[in-house]
A = this chain, B = another copy of it.
Amino acid sequence: MRLDNNAICLAKGFKASALSCGLKKGARLDLALIYSEVPAVACGLFTRNRFAAAPVEICKKHLKGGQAQAIVVNSANANCYTGLRGLRVAGNTTGYAAKLLGLRETQVLVASTGIIGRQMDFARIKKALPKLAGSLDRKQGSKAAYAIMTTDTRPKALTKKFSAGDCVITVGAIAKGAGMIMPQMATMLCFITTDAAIEYHALKEALKEAVDGSFNAISIDGCMSTNDSVIILANGLAGNRILKAGQKDFLKFKSALKQVCGRLAAMIISDAEGATKFITIAVSGARNDTQAQKAAFSIANSNLFKAAVYGENRNLGRIVAAVGAARIEAGKQIGIQCSSLKKKSVSVKVDLRVGAGKATALTSDLTPEYVKINAGYN
């Protein structure tokens, strides 16, 4: 596994481009295009928020065929809670991009992150798309990693290679941080490209498992975004024997995907707004994994616990209270271990002492800086 800002273009046949179309202030990159030279097997996982953004709706529709070739992503405007007009903007974006790229509209996906409830100016997108499509390049992945940032302080891009038979398969991914990072902004996006040849259902299974163990295990403030999207394109250009569920090489693929997503999730937590601590909460001994996850998130979302960690204030009572509030089964006395709070990385282990269920949640501390950032002060 390797950090590489150009990660999204490292698998065979992938290109990217990015530019400033005026959604962000000050000519900063705010529109990106990710493109596969050939049709790719594709699937995605999206927010469960009831007010899912327009681009999420479009993606779900377009992904029904299990195939895509391009993704248009903008930052600075979430195109959420924008009604039919917002849906038209998202639809026009994929429609026009498809025309420029010579694709069917359903082969183009779209994602947005930024302010909720503000109409997006399609004129800006429309004006920018021809240039975006015209500047696709194998070396522009880094620009795309920057263009999807909101108040992330750094791009998040990772790549991993592994061999399958005589072939080398590459996985590359970029993400932008959750963590309600900027006033009115609140989304986690992740785009993954791979040249693996893989069967659709196997891809879906691998993505689900990787996301469950990574992006679904992190919480910065318990706020579920309207735009969260994880999308993977697998174009088959590595030339490997098609990966199917159960195969040895498929397990390798799953493992690679898990590692990439796990590390990106950790990078998101590390870059959480205002955070000074990286907190891992491992719950064991639960009745089952679901109950373990409830307990882990109850701790991860406890403002009291998170403020105590910020203050390096060893307060096991707050962990007990958070576990109790989750209302899951637990022994009368539970086991709690807590690493030194003086370090940047804090580990909390909780043993509920009733069964074999376990789960891990990652979070950051709650800091005055978090409040100031989200109050809109800087």
Binding site for B on A (CB under 8 A): 48-52, 78, 80-81, 83, 115-118, 180, 183-184, 186, 221-226, 301-304, 307-308, 310-311, 313, 315-318, 320-328, 330, 332-333, 366-377
Q: Judge whether A374 and B117 touch: CB under 8 Å.
A: no
Residue of B nearest to A317 (CB): B116
B residues less than 8 Å from A372 (CB atoms): 311, 368
Pick from B83, B184, B307: contact of A370, CB below 8 A.
B307
Pick from B310, B324, B325: contact of A371, CB below 8 A.
B310
Inter-chain CA distance A376–B365, complex, in Å, is 14
Q: Judge whether B377 and A317 touch: CB under 8 Å.
A: no
Tell me the minimal C-beta distance from A330 to chain B in angstroms.
Answer: 6
Q: How many identical subunits does the complex contain?
A: 2
Residue of B nearest to A311 (CB): B375
Q: Judge whether A327 and B368 touch: CB under 8 Å.
A: no
Could you jot down 25 A-B contacts, CB within 8 Å? A49-B327, A50-B327, A50-B330, A51-B320, A52-B324, A80-B321, A81-B317, A116-B318, A116-B320, A117-B317, A118-B317, A180-B303, A180-B304, A183-B308, A184-B313, A184-B315, A184-B317, A186-B304, A221-B304, A223-B325, A226-B321, A304-B374, A308-B376, A310-B371, A368-B369
Inter-chain CA distance A330–B317, complex, in Å, is 38
Tell me the minimal C-beta distance from A371 to chain B in angstroms.
Answer: 5
Pick from B49, B50, B78, B374: contact of A311, CB below 8 A.
B374
Q: Judge whether B321 and A225 touch: CB under 8 Å.
A: yes
Residue of B nearest to A48 (CB): B327
Q: Judge whether B51 and A324 touch: CB under 8 Å.
A: yes
User: 6 tightest CB-CB pairs across the interface, nearest first?
Assistant: A311-B375, A116-B317, A368-B368, A51-B324, A307-B374, A313-B376
Pick from B118, B223, B313, B317: contact of A303, CB below 8 A.
B223
Q: Judge whether B51 and A221 touch: CB under 8 Å.
A: no
B residues less than 8 Å from A48 (CB atoms): 327
Inter-chain CA distance A332–B57, complex, in Å, is 13
Q: Judge whether A226 and B377 touch: CB under 8 Å.
A: no
Q: Judge whether B51 and A117 touch: CB under 8 Å.
A: no
Tell me the minimal C-beta distance from A369 to chain B in angstroms.
Answer: 8
- A374-B226 contact in complex given A49-B324, A303-B221, C-beta closer than 8 Å: no
- A311-B80 contact in complex given A51-B324, A321-B223, C-beta closer than 8 Å: no
Pick from B116, B301, B320: contact of A117, CB below 8 A.
B320
Residue of B nearest to A333 (CB): B83
Inter-chain CA distance A180–B221, complex, in Å, is 17
Pick from B317, B320, B374: contact of A308, CB below 8 A.
B374
Q: Judge whether A332 and B50 touch: CB under 8 Å.
A: no
B residues less than 8 Å from A323 (CB atoms): 50-51
Q: Judge whether A374 and B317 touch: CB under 8 Å.
A: no
B residues less than 8 Å from A313 (CB atoms): 183-184, 375-376
Q: Judge whether A307 and B375 touch: CB under 8 Å.
A: yes
Inter-chain CA distance A243–B65, complex, in Å, is 68
Q: Judge whether B78 and A184 touch: CB under 8 Å.
A: no
- A310-B375 contact in complex given A117-B317, A321-B51, C-beta closer than 8 Å: yes
Q: Judge whether B224 and A324 touch: CB under 8 Å.
A: yes
